[in-house]
Structure 1
């Protein structure tokens, strides 16, 4: 049958409260389920926006995560499509969130004529926000 769609990404965090607030209050995900004491983890929580889900996990008891780096192999960032980059940037700023990536002295910048910005989640995940689809 083959792959139909991306279902979820699992994000591990040692900053559970901050990450949960970021994904729900700042990005607008809804909590589907929050399970305490999940397989030796403090929390395993499912978040959803549209048809896309994030599985947010705390480390297993006694484990310590490596610090995130864009030099790691594997996923570097997640990208979300919005109606207006400028309006989404202003909305996030009005909510008091300030951890944006700056490129060439700008937060909102262009790549090949298309506006975007990147915001950093508390656990280190880089989120790209853009208003144009890839053609």
Structure 2
């Protein structure tokens, strides 16, 4: 078996318009394709994060909330690489996004912090 890379990350949101605004207008991910699937009463929004990374944002009627406190088994968080963490933190805060204090990874010595999307999905910024 050979896996080349992660193809995409899929996220299910509770409020499509709010999450679309967050990922497109605030995080500045560009739209690749937007599809409404009538049979599922669901949107699928393909977002370009970088030249090689994509997110699929799904909406479904009445999805259950994400268990996270205490953390549940499963995907813990999604991390985004940034060049300047302070600039990105300031930008998010200026757009009303709560951001945790910047910390230093005790293993790598690199700066990182967490913030959340509209559905409390934990997102990380990691400075290389």
In structure 2, distance between residues paired with 1:10 and 1:81 = 18
Offset at residue 87 of structure 1 (A): 1.1
Offset at residue 85 of structure 1 (A): 0.8
Query: CA offsets per residue over residues 60-98 of structure 1, 9 Å max, x none?
Result: x4x43133315221111111111111111112222x222
- Structure 1: which 5+ runs fail to align? none
2:55 equivalent in structure 1? 54
- Normalising to structure 1: TM-score of the pair? 0.81
Counterpart of 1:122 (choices 91, 106, 118) is 118
Paired residues of 1:38 and 1:44 also in contact (CA < 8 A): no
2:66 equivalent in structure 1? 67
Q: Which SS does the other structure have where 2:66 is aligned?
A: coil
Offset at residue 39 of structure 1 (A): 4.2
In structure 2, distance between residues paired with 1:83 and 1:67 = 30
In structure 1, distance between residues paired with 2:36 and 2:16 = 12
Q: Provide the alpha-carbon RMSD of the alignment.
A: 1.8
Count matched residues. Answer: 124
- Structure 2: which 5+ runs fail to align? none
Paired residues of 2:44 and 2:59 also in contact (CA < 8 A): yes
- Normalising to structure 2: TM-score of the pair? 0.85
In structure 2, distance between residues paired with 1:108 and 1:2 = 36
